[in-house]
Amino acid sequence: MFESLFEFDADADEATLRGVVERLEQLKAAAAAAQARATEAWATKRHAAEAAAGVPKRKRGRGLANEIALARRVAPKRGGQHLGLATALVREMPHTLAALECGALTEWRATLIVRESACLSIEHRRQLDTELCGDTSALEGWGDKRVAAEAKKIAVRLDAQAVVERSANAAADRCVWIRPAPDTMAYVTVLLPVAQGVAVYATLKREADTTCDGRSRGQVMADTVVERITGRPAEGPVPVSLNLVMADTTLAGDDNESAWLDGYGPVPAGFACKIVGDAAVDEAGRNTLRRLYRHPDSGQLIAMESRSRIFPRGLAAFIGLRDQTCRTPYCDAPIRHRDHALPHRESGPTSALNGLGECEACNYAKEARGWRVRTTECDGQHQADFTTPTGATYRSIAPPSPGPPVRRRMSITEGRLSVDLVTFDAA
């Protein structure tokens, strides 16, 4: 019966196929509503069970957002957002939930309504819910921006002071993040208060208006950002630690295998070699080269030569290079913590096998009641099994290192290893 919901005749006429698309979109919205109800029920049972077990109120529900993220196969941050959405819809906004269930709203538009009403009291939130979604026919034809604008308009009318205070507190959320872009480019996004953001953009725009050297306006603005932040010319070599990992054969020009740039991801061999070459001839920089060892079967990193006098620092660097991003399944966040899979308080060793690179939120989540993490090495693969309080287990396997197929040869460390990776740091 479940499969029949998704069966259709591909040879049907266009009007019939349009109807199939509409029906499936309604099913997606109804499934999102049912998922929200199930999530809220799960949270209620978890809090009740922890209350009965004597868990302090401030610690109840810790780690639940991560469990929800694993169940949904998304990043932990998305799990927390879904938990907040489900709680608000089921407990405080029944009309919005009903609009989602009947397909009048998508899950994202319901999220926008919840987000815009977050600063209101429960009473005002319910009033907004009734005014905006009490009549679902009024939502017909509304896009994302219209839904968010109407919700904000009602919120301002109900409690303008709460909206103003929320805007003032939003400055605490200012931050910077990076994500890859095509063709070895990167997006660096800065979230700022509006006055500062406009001032930054106006400064860059003024620089572009007064520069005439053959570069486009966008190029001048981008180069100005680099020069103002780094204090060096935009076309010059990068003077900070990059943690660029590449095979020695790639560095020597014997193959074209991609490299790995910490905090970015895979980069082409030619681009990696150019970074190394530019930094190597930079007399003002301090450049270091480390040898890394990878397993002959799996290709994963298993050891590193380190000149550091303090062993934990070298081990922490190795774990970061091996794991690349947070090891919690479906989480791609940058590594912030290197922690024990089996906690140190339970005699967990400080070793590469027992070590995990994790983001801050995931590291704290696995310390919650009922979580267990077990690491093993199988055929050279570093595996971490995350078991949640409900008994579900999710596996994370460290990614293979960059480079061509591993060459089997004896090395000075242990067994049959391959000394064929290098990490280049320009500091």
What confidence tens digit (pLDDT) does each residue in 100-158 have? 999 999 999 999 999 999 999 999 999 999 999 999 999 999 999 999 999 999 999 99
Spatial distance between the Cα atoms of 145 and 137, rounded to a whole number of angstroms: 18
What confidence tens digit (pLDDT) does each residue in 218-276 have? 999 999 999 998 888 888 765 545 567 777 777 767 778 887 777 677 778 777 777 77
| Among 161-165, 336-340, 349-353, the least confident range | 349-353
Are 393 and 373 contacting, i.e. CB atoms less than 8 angstroms apart? Answer: no
Phi and psi for 284 in degrees, rounded to 5?
-85, -15
Residues 6+ apart with CB under 8 A from 356: 319, 323, 327, 338, 339, 340, 341, 373, 375, 384
Straight-line distance from the first to the last Cα atom of the chain, in angstroms, rounded to the nearest whole number: 61
Q: Quick one: which of 146, 399, 426 has its CA closest to 289?
A: 426
The number of C-alpha atoms within 13 Å of 365 and in the hemisphere containing its C-beta is: 26
- Residue 236 CA: distances (Å) to CA of 232, 245, 264: 7, 21, 20
Spatial distance between the Cα atoms of 174 and 29, rounded to a whole number of angstroms: 32
Spatial distance between the Cα atoms of 130 and 124, rounded to a whole number of angstroms: 10
| Among 219-233, 284-298, 330-344, the least confident range | 284-298
For the chain, which residues make up each domain, given as ranges? 3-172, 192-230
Structure tokens belonging to residue 268: 């082409």
Structure tokens belonging to residue 326: 């947070």
Spatial distance between the Cα atoms of 198 and 179, rounded to a whole number of angstroms: 22
Q: Is the pLDDT of residue 65 over 70?
A: yes
Which of 119-128, 176-185, 339-348 is predicted most confidently? 119-128
Q: Is the pLDDT of residue 12 over 80?
A: yes
Look at the block and give the residue holding tokens 């070895």.
184
What residue type is assigned to position 152 of the chain? Answer: K
Q: What is the largest CA-CA distance in the chain?
A: 74
Spatial distance between the Cα atoms of 380 and 211, rounded to a whole number of angstroms: 55
Residues 6+ apart with CB under 8 A from 417: 293, 294, 295, 296, 302, 303, 410, 411
Residue 230 is predicted with a pLDDT of 81
Q: What is the dihedral of CA 387, 389, 392, 398, to 10 degrees?
A: -30
Q: Is the pLDDT of residue 298 over 70?
A: no
Q: Quick one: which of 305, 323, 336 has its CA closest to 260?
A: 323
- DSSP state letters, 189-241: EEE--HHHHHHHHHHHHHHHHT--SS--HHHHHHHHHHHHHHSS-TTSPP-S-
What would the mean pLDDT of 43-66 be, rounded to a whole number?
93
The proportion of the chain whose per-residue pLDDT surpasses 90, expressed as a percent, equals 49
Residue 152 is predicted with a pLDDT of 93
DSSP 385: E
Q: What is the dihedral of CA 216, 222, 223, 226, to 10 degrees?
A: 180
Alpha helices in 59-193 (DSSP H): 64-72, 76-92, 94-102, 107-116, 122-133, 144-158, 160-169
Residue 274 is predicted with a pLDDT of 76
Full strand arrangement of the beta sheet holding 259-261: 265-267, 259-261, 244-247, 418-426, 287-294, 301-304
Indicate the pLDDT class of residue 419, thresholds 50, 70 and 90.
Answer: very low
Helix (DSSP H) and strand (DSSP E) numbers for the chain? 14, 13
Residues comprising the chain, all counted: 427
Residue 286 is predicted with a pLDDT of 58
